[in-house]
């Protein structure tokens, strides 16, 4: 059964954040956690089994674009290749509900990259709980929006996630109301930005 951790949305309890980070680091825990655009599934980047569990829960194949959840722009810049125009546009839009598709740096494990494009998603969330967890973990979180097979919107209620995925994840984090709209996804991997999913972030800043 999944552990259910109730965190304060504005001032998350540091001892609980530490316990979650320790479980991710020491026990390879897979966590369902709230973000600024609905719930996500997340684990350490080096957690191979966690990656496979995410694919299995979501009913996805190897071509799925995983997202590396980053604490800040500096961490993001160590994971992907960014030219000057993309740098300015992405920096101006973060933190926020955007996911950016970019070519991965050599440090990113091949299993996390799109098999043909060698790209990966990156984003910087505007969410106190996620930022606290990233700071405690000290590394990006390998993530995917928690949209289950047959559904079109991300989950938004911790108790529902616990009920439906009690035997599929290790920890469910509750931290109050969560938006129901997924991120806006912008692909910078092949020249000019291309909006490939319209979501919570204003897509107009990347169009035209």
Q: What is the pLDDT of residue 191?
A: 84
Does 3-206 carry CATH code 1.10.287.3610? no
Query: pLDDT > 90: what percent of the chain?
Result: 88
What are the residue boundaries of the structural domains of the chain, listed by start?
Answer: 3-206
Q: How far apart are CA 136 and CA 29, in angstroms?
A: 15
Q: How far apart are CA 118 and CA 126, in angstroms?
A: 27
Name which of 2, 61, 40 is nearest 140 in CA terms. Answer: 40
Q: What is the pLDDT along the chain (208 residues), one digit of tens a residue?
A: 999 999 999 999 999 999 999 999 999 999 999 999 999 999 999 999 999 999 999 999 888 889 999 999 999 999 999 999 899 999 999 999 999 999 999 989 999 998 889 999 999 999 999 999 999 999 999 999 999 999 988 999 999 999 999 999 999 999 998 888 899 999 999 889 999 999 999 999 998 6
Name which of 116, 119, 115 is nearest 104 in CA terms. Answer: 119
Q: Report if pTM > 0.85.
A: yes
What are the tens digits of pLDDT across the range 33-70?
999 999 999 999 999 999 999 999 999 988 888 999 99
């Amino acid at each position: 059964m999944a552990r259910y951790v109730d965190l304060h949305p504005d001032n998350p309890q540091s001892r609980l954040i530490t316990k979650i980070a320790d479980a991710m680091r020491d026990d390879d825990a897979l966590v369902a956690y709230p973000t600024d655009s609905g719930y996500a599934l997340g684990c350490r980047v080096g957690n191979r089994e966690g990656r496979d569990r995410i694919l299995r829960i979501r009913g996805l194949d190897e071509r799925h674009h995983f997202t590396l959840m980053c604490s800040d722009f500096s961490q993001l810049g160590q994971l992907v290749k960014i030219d000057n125009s993309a740098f300015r546009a992405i920096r101006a839009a973060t933190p926020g509900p955007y996911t950016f598709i970019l070519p991965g740096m050599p440090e990113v494990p091949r299993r996390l990259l799109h098999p043909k494009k060698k790209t990966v998603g990156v984003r910087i969330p505007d969410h106190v709980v996620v930022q606290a967890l990233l700071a405690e973990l000290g590394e990006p979180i390998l993530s995917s929006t928690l949209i289950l097979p047959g559904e079109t919107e991300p989950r938004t209620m911790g108790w529902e996630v616990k009920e439906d995925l009690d035997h599929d994840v290790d920890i469910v984090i509750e931290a109050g109301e969560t938006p129901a709209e997924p991120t806006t996804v912008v692909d910078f991997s092949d020249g000019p930005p291309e909006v490939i999913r319209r979501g919570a972030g204003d897509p107009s800043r990347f169009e035209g």
